[in-house]
Structure 1
Amino acid sequence: LTPLIMWVLNNTSAQPLTFLLTGIPGLRAAKIWVSIPVCLLYAGALSGNSVILFVVLREQSLHEPMYYFLSMLSATDLSLSLCTLSTTLGVFWFEAREINLNACVAQMFFLHGFTFMESGVLLAMAFDRFVAICDPLRYTTILTNARIAQIGMSMLTRNVAVMLPVVLFVKRLSFCSSMVLSHSYCYHVDLIQLSCTDNRINSILGLFALFSTTGFDCPCILLSYVLIIRSVLSITSIEGRQKAFNTCISHISAVAIFYIPLISLSLVHRYGHSAPPFVHTIMANIFLLIPPVLNPIIYSVKTKQIQKAVIKVLIQKELILLAHALFLTLPL
């Protein structure tokens, strides 16, 4: 995707503009202290999702649809963290606040694209749970490896299709007054508000991108759980019901920690005009950092197969290191 984005950026009317990123408004004097939890959250997101990806790829027993979707979620969370890591830590640690238009638009594309991708992966995981509970006998025939790959490619294609028009129309805006962005990364709404030309088309495209992705995925996830609950309630044994519900707890938690901050951020932007600027920025950072940090923890705690695989990999690593240390101590 990177060559495609760079081609779009280079073949539109580029402007030699530089924007200034902001850490947390009003808390600039305490940026060192603020950077510590932010850095820890980034470290947790990168390490946790890397471990999940490594374990799923390494362990043959986890090569099942549910864990393929989990690896997609981890890859998306990892990418979402990486696309804002450089500018956020640059602002907090090195006072590197400047970013040119092309870099800003590219970051905006990947930031929103991976956010929409996460919404799509959560929908795919809801479909996985729906098939597993409502039609378990056909689970392996419905969710084949080829179909899982098709689902992943369709989500990727959807995100590129909705984000490319946004990029093209942002590049056609003119910026002539304030060049200060209110976040430590490039956010679409934040960027178009700095334009001194008519940005109604950009606002419409942004809303279309939002409603055609998360606005479509969220109701579908709710519908899938309505059908799942109806199917589970038809199970006569209490143990069977509990077992069926337990398989959904991790996914429900992941949906909650993604959509609750997203809805809260939308409400703050819409109705919280009187709130201090740092409230908006903190809410935006919570939305970007909390899901990538918590998702690996939730799935590691709630999924016994992931727990066993992580422990197995760690034990194997310790044994390899121990054997290597013993080998080095042997006389030649």
Structure 2
Amino acid sequence: EMVRDGANLSPENKAKLVAMNAKLEGLFSAFSSKLLGDEKLYTFVTDKAELAGLEPGFVASLAAAAEANGKPGQWAIKNTRSSAQPVLQNATNRALREKVWKAFVSRGDNGNANDTNATIADILKLRQQRAELLGFPTHANYRMADTMAKTPENAMGLMMKVWPAAVARAKEEVADMQAIADADAKAGKGVKLTIEPWDYRFYSEKVRKAKYDLDESEVKPYLQLDKLTQAMFWSAGQLYDLGFRENTGTVPVFDPKVKTFEVYNLKTNENVGLIYLDNFARDGKRSGAWMTTYRSQQTLGGERNVLASNNNNFTEGAKGEPTLISLDDATTLFHE
């Protein structure tokens, strides 16, 4: 590993490697900042009728977002996955789905101050130079060298074994969606259309309802974030003998909506660590979900407990209302 990271390089080349790594870190940071810049943008809706199909609680949160951005009486859909996904899945207004989808997939590719194309080109160029400095023909070879695949060719070989079946299944799914869209048009329930990317989630739900009589909107009221958090903690107790005591307000946090919990051993009551629950989307926070360990457990040189966080981008419920999340988001919460 040390050799792979440049231990055998000459002093001159080690200095080059350090400079390359530093420049790459700067480029990665710039890329993230630009992406976040586009995720701060909103799609504003002025006619509530355009939001048909969306859940009342979600619509209320969009109204609150618009008011917070100086546009009371409107609805604001933020350009993040957590805001875009419910629209793509539930909005009956196809034009709105298209607008939201195109805004989301175009993040960093709009020719504005947040455009990442030049940044990506610089990253690719530097990665290639670093790979060659370390004795690899490409960055892909460098990345694969310490993995089970070992080479880019092996990785691609595995992908191509899966690819035909994956494509065939995707075509089957789209055919199922198209059949429902055609039936709706024939019955006068919609216009004739060809399934496009912004239709995928919407018609996937229709297929699920038709095939399995499963409607996620009927399940979601049972997926209350606070209750799911309790269930997550209960599961950790059953599996790992871990207990959780909320101590929000006694520990410094990086956002007022972050909750904190002391983690302890249920059998011994011994402190194990601290977990931060950072559940809600906000400006400056990247999309997606992840876990982070700020400090790992250690006994060498004295006991040191764990500081960790579970990070999501859920849309907070309207004031006085519980936060409800989708089944996918519930799975993500437990996964992280």
Which TM-score bucket, shorter chain as reference?
Answer: under 0.3
Larger radius of gyration: 2
More strand by share: 2
More helix by share: 1
Q: TM-score, normalised by structure 1?
A: 0.24
Q: Which fold has the larger relative contact order, with Cα–Cα distance below 8 Å and residues 6 or more apart in sequence?
A: 1
